[in-house]
Homo-oligomer: A and B are copies of this chain.
Amino acid sequence: MAKRPENYRTRQGQCILDYIKSLGDGHVTVTQIVRHFEDTQEFISQTTVYRHLEKLAAGGMLRKYVLSGSACYQYAGGKADRREHFHLKCESCGALIHADCDFLDKIERHLLKRHNFQVNLLKTVFYGTCKKCLAGA
């Protein structure tokens, strides 16, 4: 029933996944990925990057965040680790911060029980002002 074979193994697919894995917790945009491979001589068309990211995100291998203007992706470890994980986007400096915290459980439960809404906190991004910008500005 389920389609097992992760499709073909190609140079491009391998490179993209390896690269994102190598970033650990970091995030990347499609443009950054394309640029990265330009820099390393290897070349992968942006179309291919889009198609791989879409597939990987659909399969749970990556997480996709929609920010203003463009989307960014992050390695999710394959394991469906819907672990406590905040995403904080600073509206001032643009930084995308992630922090672990079990407070998320409370939010999740609250939304489900009181609002009948099953929140996907892995995709949700909290907008606001980060520590540095609070101090600096």
Interface: A11 (CB within 8 A): no
A59-103 interface mask toward B, CB cutoff 8 Å, 1 = contact, 0 = none?
Answer: 000000011100100000000000000101001000001010101
* Segment at the interface with B among A2-10, A19-27, A30-38, A121-129: A121-129
Nearest residue (CB) in B for A127 is B123
* Assembly CA distance A127 to B134 (angstroms): 26
Interface: A116 (CB within 8 A): yes
Within residues 104 to 137 of chain A, which ones have a CB less than 8 A from any CB in chain B?
106-107, 110-111, 114-121, 123-131, 134
Shortest CB-to-CB span from A110 to chain B, Å, is 5
Tallying the copies of this chain within the complex gives 2
Pick from B106, B124, B130: contact of A127, CB under 8 Å: B124
16 A-B residue contacts at CB 8 Å?
A: A66-B66, A88-B119, A91-B120, A91-B123, A97-B117, A103-B110, A116-B130, A116-B134, A117-B129, A117-B130, A120-B127, A121-B126, A123-B128, A124-B127, A124-B128, A125-B125
A residues apposed to B, CB below 8 Å = 66-68, 71, 86, 88, 91, 97, 99, 101, 103, 106-107, 110-111, 114-121, 123-131, 134
